[in-house]
Amino acid sequence: MKSRWSDAEAAQCQDALALRVYSSQLLGRDADLVLHGGGNTSVKVSESDLFGETQQILYVKGSGWDLATIAAAGFTPLRLEPLMRLATLEQLPDLEMVNQLKTLQTRAAAPTASVEAILHAVLPFTFVDHTHADAVVTLTNTSDGAAKVREVYGDAVIVIPYVMPGFELARLVGERFAAEATSNTIGMVLMNHGIFSFGETAKSAYERMIDLVSRAENYLQQALAWEVTDDLPQVAERTACNPLTIARLRQQISEVSGVPMLLTCDASDAMRSFAMHPRIAAISQRGPATPDHVIRTKQLPLLGSDIAAYSAAYRHYFKQCASGHPDGASLTMLDSAPRVLLSPQWGMICVGRSRRDCDIVADIYRHTIPMILRAERLGGWRALPSEAIFAVEYWELEQAKLRKGRGSLPFQGEVALVTGAASGIGKATVEALLARGASVVGFDINPEVTRLYQRPDYLGLVCDISDSQAIVVALQQTILTFGGLDMLIVNAGLFPVGSRIDALDDALWRRVMQVNVDANLTLLRECYPALKLAPEGGRVVIIGSKNVPAPGPGAAAYSASKAALNQLARVAALEWAGDKIRVNSLHPDAVFDTGIWTEDVLTARATHYGMSVDAYKLRNLLKVEVRARDVAALAAEMCGPLFSRTTGAQLPVDGGSDRVI
């Protein structure tokens, strides 16, 4: 492992807290040290209070912050002396510990301090670093792991047996460190948990961490337990499989979870090869690398796709472990759905309420696999027993969050597809759906659709909807990216230059019909099987036009195509209601913040009516301007609970038109 420290970069830091931020980010940027919010760091400083009196303050990483991106605001300042006194108590329940940490904050707006704040306080060093380094965790999850750790480090570290994070661990560390530390001690290994390093400077604490982890890596290399790809079988060429298999799995998992869930699929050779390991049934079923992973991954992955069997096994696990838990009678069982599925054909499927959750699960398990294989080379992978894993999964602090209720956005865990997403109403609809928690896929012929958002819950695909094969391919990619499809917003269309019937060109007529009707028929037909598997029922919103109920002269092709699409939607509402798919239409008019309404076009139309541009924009009964975001908001609401009892509806979004009314 290489040090990322730069004296030049460190020289830019103005104080100890800035150095703490800098070295924390160095740790957080190395996935072999820290994954997604794991690990924590601290620094002890002297500060003056409002009375000018000097007090010792511990700045420790706050809950919810990631070391890779942490800022000064992510560290919670706590009064050090009373914090250290807490470690002398005989007992301190978790909820009371959190309460005490809150009362010791010197900044009310700071995040809740790490539950390991007391542990950081009792270590007599200015800078304290804690990571879950893969190499170290590998050693601790083997037979005679403690002996291997001592073989690697000698008296450079103190070895602490596994104790659940929080007060008990802090008290034990305080006792053991005082009794065992020597002048050679530069770190501490927590069995089945991670490693600490410390020093009087940020650089010394950081580089000690790099040195200690490098020693573990070197040990694995010398024991021929580093390069382990030879332990995996060669994969055969993957046979084609209908992505709807994934959508069906998602439906089953969501039913067990009680809420819609997303699925992501990693069908790489590496993942498929691990799933094909001849001893996969044994090595994958021994537990996670560290107990805190259980919050993300559950205790065990599912081999294959029998969701019902996994759910039954989880309920048995809960019942068995809860019977021996001191608070077992009051525990609320979490959902019994898997978070990781392993399959020789699909590799690894990860489950979460958001794409970010899925990605975190995937990252954790991608790091777990080499740890398992390396530990097997050292005599066998040995995770903690179920009772210890259960204690973290059903930790009092996690149960308290559950009892308070975890609010979620209305479309969290659901997938929406928007056509014509690169601009206008389509782009606004993407924004509205993302704001409501959906994962969104945008189709558009314009490559700009791929660059709309750089975030995990958005996928932009270049797709000409008049190409039926392009629709099939893009829809497959949608399902493989998010696991299924819940909502379809049919927005893409062609608005041709005005032409009276006597001058209407056949080619133009056919092109408009091809895009506005034929292409959308293909889209609806291809989306139907996935919409039928939507956990909360499928939803379709057709972006029609005021020209459906009230056509105007010079727009025969457009008006007729939109009317045909509207009729198609009505038939779909009739045919698909039995599959719990609802289909509704919106008919906007005069939405001027879209691509077709350039300043020249606006000016020309306003002049035609003898009006100013501003007056022309308000040419409706309510005298209001209809914007793309207004249409988008209603399209999103049509997919929500307010319209859960409505299908086949047609709503104008036009500010009121006497011709429509």
Q: Tell me what the mean pLDDT of segment 556-578 comes to.
A: 96
Check residue 606 and give its pLDDT.
Answer: 85
Residue 160 has pLDDT above 80, yes or no: yes
Angstrom distance (rounded) from CA 260 to CA 628: 28
Q: Do domains 7-222 and 244-404 have the same CATH topology?
A: yes
pLDDT in tens, 90-99: 999 999 999 9
Angstrom distance (rounded) from CA 352 to CA 358: 5
Strands 539-543 and 54-61: unpaired
Check residue 594 and give its pLDDT.
Answer: 82
* Domain residue ranges of the chain, discontinuous segments joined by +: 7-222, 244-404, 415-653
Check residue 63 and give its pLDDT.
Answer: 87
Angstrom distance (rounded) from CA 260 to CA 537: 10
Residue 404 has pLDDT above 60, yes or no: no
Give residue 397's pLDDT band: very low, low, confident or very high (50, 70, 90): confident
Q: Tell me what the mean pLDDT of segment 110-132 comes to.
A: 96
Q: What is the spatial order of strands in the sheet that 347-352 belongs to?
A: 262-266, 347-352, 340-343, 302-303
CA 158 centroid distance within chain: 36
Angstrom distance (rounded) from CA 174 to CA 139: 24
Longest Cα–Cα distance in the chain: 98
Residues 510-531: b if buried by 16+ CB within 10 A, e if exposed: ebbbebbbbbbebbbeebbbbb
Work out the number of other CB atoms within 10 angstroms of the CB of residue 19: 22
Residues 6+ apart with CB under 8 A from 99: none
Q: Which two tokens stand for residue 328?
A: 């077992």
Q: Tell me what the mean pLDDT of segment 28-50 comes to.
A: 93
Residue 407 has pLDDT above 70, yes or no: no
Q: Which two tokens stand for residue 278?
A: 């001849």
Q: Which two tokens stand for residue 432?
A: 């509205």
Check residue 609 and give its pLDDT.
Answer: 81
Does residue 251 contact residue 337 with C-beta atoms inside 8 Å?
no
Residue 476 has pLDDT above 60, yes or no: yes
Q: CATH assignment of 244-404?
A: 3.40.225
Q: Tell me what the mean pLDDT of segment 225-246 comes to.
A: 84
Angstrom distance (rounded) from CA 481 to CA 54: 55
Topology classification of domain 415-653:
Rossmann fold (3.40.50)
Residue 446 has pLDDT above 70, yes or no: yes
Q: Tell me what the mean pLDDT of segment 571-576 comes to.
A: 98
Q: Which CATH architecture has domain 7-222?
A: 3-Layer(aba) Sandwich (3.40)
Above pLDDT 70, what percent of the chain? 98
Give residue 401's pLDDT band: very low, low, confident or very high (50, 70, 90): low
Q: What is the spatial order of strands in the sheet that 487-490 belongs to?
A: 458-462, 439-444, 415-419, 487-490, 539-543, 582-588, 650-653
**Angle, in degrees to the nearest 10, between helices 468-482 and 244-257:** 40
pLDDT in tens, 296-344: 999 999 999 999 999 999 999 999 999 999 988 989 899 999 999 999 9
Angstrom distance (rounded) from CA 534 to CA 500: 43
Note the pTM of the prediction, 2 decimals.
0.92
Check residue 175 and give its pLDDT.
Answer: 94
Residue 203 has pLDDT above 70, yes or no: yes
Check residue 498 and give its pLDDT.
Answer: 73
Residue 619 has pLDDT above 60, yes or no: yes
- DSSP 8-state class, residue 449: G
Least confident of 164-168, 209-213, 368-372: 164-168
Residue 386 has pLDDT above 90, yes or no: yes
Does residue 13 contact residue 19 with C-beta atoms inside 8 Å?
yes
Residues 6+ apart with CB under 8 A from 419: 426, 443, 444, 463, 465, 489, 490, 491, 492, 523
Give residue 154's pLDDT band: very low, low, confident or very high (50, 70, 90): very high
Angstrom distance (rounded) from CA 527 to CA 538: 10
Helices (H), 546-627: 556-576, 599-608, 613-617
Residue 402 has pLDDT above 70, yes or no: no
Q: Tell me what the mean pLDDT of segment 352-374 comes to.
A: 96
Q: Tell me what the mean pLDDT of segment 367-380 comes to.
A: 96
Active-site amino acid positions = 558
Residue 240 has pLDDT above 70, yes or no: no
Check residue 581 and give its pLDDT.
Answer: 98
Does residue 497 contact residue 511 with C-beta atoms inside 8 Å?
no
Q: Tell me what the mean pLDDT of segment 450-471 comes to.
A: 96
Does residue 98 contact residue 125 with C-beta atoms inside 8 Å?
no
